[in-house]
């Protein structure tokens, strides 16, 4: 994996690039797959063909929407459906109807989303503010 900001190799699981200090995943000047410089606005790397945009449709989900859905409708898994975590959402529904704990789970996840502890959707696309 390569830093999208400076193009240097980044250790797997690292939170920030040790070369430039930018959070992993931020930047658009270099390909995260091969580390070569990218063309501004390109959807794929001209060197290796890797996708440069994390979402096929380019749409990031709203952190505020996901958080509020979690707080108010979390027991029904609505926030997880919104973020693309379908299996988790179905599990949340089942736990809510069988044991009632899905509502607490949803409330906690809603708070975690709003505080930034959960910051990506199921496709790995960062949530927008």
- Can you give the residue ranges of every domain in the chain? 1-53, 54-129
Q: Which residues pair with 120 in a beta bridge?
A: 126
Beta carbons of 48 and 34 less than 8 angstroms apart: yes
**pLDDT bucket at 102, cuts 50 / 70 / 90:** confident
User: How do residues 36-80 score in pLDDT, each as one tens digit?
Assistant: 998 887 878 888 887 776 554 457 899 999 999 999 999 999 999
User: How do residues 2-21 score in pLDDT, each as one tens digit?
Assistant: 998 899 999 888 888 999 99
Burial status of residue 65 (CB atoms within 10 A of its CB: 0-12, 13-18, 19 or more): middle
Estimate the crossing angle of helix 102-115 against helix 63-73, to 10 degrees.
Answer: 160
* Number of residues assigned to the chain: 129
């Amino acid at each position: 994996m390569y830093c999208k900001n400076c193009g240097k190799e980044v250790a797997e699981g690292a939170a920030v690039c040790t070369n430039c200090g930018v959070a992993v995943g931020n930047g658009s000047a270099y390909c995260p797959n091969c580390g070569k410089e990218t063309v501004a606005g390109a959807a794929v790397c001209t060197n290796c063909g890797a996708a440069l945009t994390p979402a096929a449709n380019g749409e990031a989900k709203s952190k505020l929407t996901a958080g509020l859905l979690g707080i108010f409708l979390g027991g029904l898994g609505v926030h997880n459906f919104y973020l693309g975590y379908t299996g988790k959402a179905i599990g949340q529904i089942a736990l809510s109807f069988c044991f009632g704990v899905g509502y607490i789970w949803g409330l906690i996840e809603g708070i975690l989303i709003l505080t930034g502890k959960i910051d990506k959707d199921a496709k790995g696309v960062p949530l927008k503010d």
